[in-house]
Amino acid sequence: MHFRRKEQEDNIYLDGIIDQNVLLTLTSDDYQWAKTNAQRKDFEYPLQMVVATRTGCYTFVTLDHELAKVYAEPPINIQTI
């Protein structure tokens, strides 16, 4: 969403992409884990990783190469595009 809006992409296209995916929720336990395990300044990284691992994701796809470096260790396979 961030990058498409930055390019002023139509919201109809963005809504279609979102509708094709599942929204995963963040719990208070996830937040506590992220607070304890944050490895860098960007607090979004551990939040994304804890939700992905808790919900059983096998592969995490991201445009963020820094996130991929920080969380390169298992239990989740991170692919950058």
pLDDT band of 51, cuts 50, 70, 90: very high
Q: Is pTM, for the whole model, over 0.75?
A: no
Provide the domain limits for residue 72.
Answer: 24-80
Q: What percent of the chain has pLDDT over 70?
A: 96
- Which token pair is 2? 């961030």
The arithmetic mean of pLDDT across residues 69-79, rounded, is 82
Determine, yes or no, domain membership for 10. Answer: no
Q: What is the pLDDT of residues 9-36, one digit of tens each?
A: 777 777 787 788 888 889 999 999 999 8
Determine, yes or no, domain membership for 13. Answer: no
Asked whether residue 37 carries a pLDDT value surpassing 90, the answer given is no
Determine, yes or no, domain membership for 19. Answer: no
Determine, yes or no, domain membership for 4. Answer: no
Classified as helix, coil or strand, 14 is helix
CB 50 within 8 A of CB 32: no
Tell me how many domains the chain contains: 1
Q: Between the CA of residue 1 and those of 13, 18, 37, 66, 69, what are the distances in Å?
A: 10, 9, 26, 19, 22
